[in-house]
Chains A and B, each alone.
Chain A
């Protein structure tokens, strides 16, 4: 069953199409990956699904459980169970790690914070009393973001490069949170540049210059990382004029 349906989504910035008539079906309970070169429009797509400011004016529609969410605000979408792990998480002066993790959690217990931190591989005794501010390293910050998403128990989570800035020893915690989310019944959309992360997905979408150029088959998707960006012909240089063959709807 489709949890999320993206229908002919086009988004323009400064007159330039960033997303180009994208249509995607997101199946409930699955882990989907979105891959594609820098500037392809992956973060733009995630931000548009979340409804962030600057991403609300688009053509086409987005349906969650069969209903359009186009007119819903970010918090209304979040209360339906949609959330986003930002590619570059915000830093909050003075806001405690526990407070931050509990912000979106229904169960506001200390046990939830401890469990979430442990899942993200962060010893609670070391992190609970700290602030989500600039004293955290980039990787620590990212993992706290992951912990807060875990505590929220979302229906649909968009993860924008959950592994970026996270050391090789600690990516395993990211994978374990993804597994645990799936186990809880959450649907995951993973945006990634890493073949390691891609292994945790059931399906993938390849986006190039805002256009969906391939989807499905994981084996073929791995070719993308082997430098054979077929049929994406212009890795690293996404331009409007580029000859991208959009995937025809099926």
Chain B
């Protein structure tokens, strides 16, 4: 029985990694694989602490990069569910210690999803002078049976940097309720980027918010969305600058095809006359000049549109 469980665990791990085209990691690469509410495998490196605790429908994870440590390689996380239905709740608490530097790559994979909920609740603290770059890539099956609700609160301390990228390009998005918020202290930087391709009946709601509360803080919020068929998306970008020399930029681009619908709600607010925030948004069909340039090279309208979308989401 125990042997059976081990075999299952290894098979699951192999399947999970195969679904994200990942197979072997080098010994100096930290990685953690979580299937449902089970930690399948964990390999850590010096200066990195990852503690996981199973809860009924998921896991609670505490991640800490020790003060002054620079992790040479990105830490690879893989969260997923192989069955076609279920709930995976991930509660993560991450602290990047003072002056530490780390990169995290999270692959969230639901290759057979028919009815899956992936709920992520994260708090991230990037301490003074530290940096974290976080990249989350979703791999979904073709049926769109995934509801993903990532809620992340980030605190970026003085002179710290945080960047995040969320990418869902392959497979059907399903329902996305993404909510990222950051508090940005003196001379700290936050950079949030979302790239999503919505198809069929996908419903996408993205909220990216940054509060530039410290002097000289900067924030860039970018969302690039492509929608086709009957997909719909609402993008809320909120940038509030409260301190002198705070700088911010919001960039929201949505390409809409077929019967898809897109809505952008940008909020830019400046509460200090020495702060400066800019905003650019473009929603609609593919830009006609871009399209005609590619048509004039002999691409068909579909090929040209695909290439433009591929660029926007790259």
Contact = CB atoms under 8 A, between A and B. Distances in A.
A pairs with B: yes
B312 A78 contact: no
Interface residues of B, number: 24
B296 A74 contact: yes
Given A95-B310, A103-B307, A90 B289 contact: yes
A76 to B, nearest CB: 9
Interface stretch (B12-20, B119-127, B173-181, B298-306): B298-306
Given A93-B312, A99-B307, A99-B311, A86 B297 contact: no
Contacts of A91: 290
B314 interface: yes
- From DSSP, what is the main secondary structure of chain B's interface residues? helix
Find the residue from B294, B310, B312, B314 having the highest chain A CB count within 10 A: B294
Contacts of A242: none
Contacts of A104: 294, 296-299
A27 to B, nearest CB: 22
A103 B311 contact: no
B295 A75 contact: yes
A82 to B, nearest CB: 8
A92 B297 contact: no
B288 interface: yes
A50 B299 CA distance: 14
Interface in B279-293: 287-290, 292-293
A44 to B, nearest CB: 15
A250 interface: no
B264 interface: no
B101 interface: no
Nearest to B308: A92
A96 interface: yes
Interface in A64-88: 73-75, 77-79, 82-84, 86
A52 B292 contact: yes
B297 A93 contact: no
B128 interface: no
A83 B299 CA distance: 11
Contacts of A148: 297
Given A78-B298, A90-B287, A104-B298, A96 B314 contact: yes
A103 B288 CA distance: 17
B237 to A, nearest CB: 16
B134 to A, nearest CB: 20
Given A52-B292, A86-B293, A75 B301 contact: yes
A78 B297 contact: yes
A131 interface: yes
Contact of A103 (B289, B299, B312, B314): B299
Nearest to A85: B296
A189 to B, nearest CB: 14
B313 interface: yes
A95 B309 CA distance: 9
B247 interface: no
A227 interface: no
Contacts of B308: 92, 95
A152 interface: yes
B299 A75 contact: yes
A138 interface: no
A103 B297 contact: yes
Contacts of B314: 94-96
A128 B287 CA distance: 24
A78 B296 CA distance: 5
Interface string A125-152: 0000001100000000000000010001
B224 A78 contact: no
Nearest to B293: A90
A104 B299 CA distance: 7
Contacts of B253: 93
A89 B293 contact: yes
B296 A84 contact: yes
Contact of B307 (A77, A86, A95): A95
A92 B311 contact: yes
A50 B310 contact: no
Interface in A21-78: 50, 52-53, 73-75, 77-78
A188 to B, nearest CB: 15
A50 B313 CA distance: 29
Nearest to A145: B293
Nearest to B288: A53
Nearest to A158: B296
Given A75-B298, A92-B311, A103-B294, 16 more contacts: A53-B292, A74-B296, A78-B295, A78-B298, A83-B297, A84-B296, A89-B293, A90-B290, A90-B293, A93-B311, A94-B312, A95-B307, A96-B311, A99-B307, A104-B296, A131-B311
22 contacts: A50-B296, A74-B296, A75-B301, A78-B295, A78-B296, A78-B298, A78-B299, A83-B296, A84-B296, A90-B293, A92-B308, A92-B311, A93-B224, A93-B311, A94-B310, A94-B311, A94-B312, A96-B311, A99-B311, A103-B294, A104-B296, A131-B311
> Which 3 pairs from chain A and chain B are nearest by CB?
A104-B297, A95-B311, A94-B311
